[in-house]
Amino acid sequence: MGEEEFYSLTWWQWGMKVHQINRNMRHREIDLHLKRMELANFINANRGKNDPPIKHEDIIRLSIDDDPKEKDVDLMQATKKVKEMLGGRIKHGNK
């Protein structure tokens, strides 16, 4: 999109362009998800006896995948880290 075209857009047209881009990104991600599942199935069907099976998340990471780092967060460790960053200005709400 050129500069003149961009500045001539109305708010409605701009909103529709953003909506179109988001929809295209979702469709592209769904296609990638299906292709990586197909590829993982193919690899697992043709793997050796001693080879471990491959998960489709191992091939490519998408935004729909769970982040393993988010699951392993310890609340006390996170609170300590934030206190260190803010210089101990956080007080517990139950005291």
Tens place of pLDDT for every residue, the chain, 95 residues? Answer: 788 888 898 999 999 999 999 999 999 999 999 999 999 899 888 888 888 888 888 888 888 777 655 556 677 777 777 777 776 665 665 55
User: Would you list the DSSP string of 3-55?
Assistant: HHHHHT--HHHHHHHHHHHHHHHHHHHHHHHHHHHHHHHHHHHT--TTSPPPP
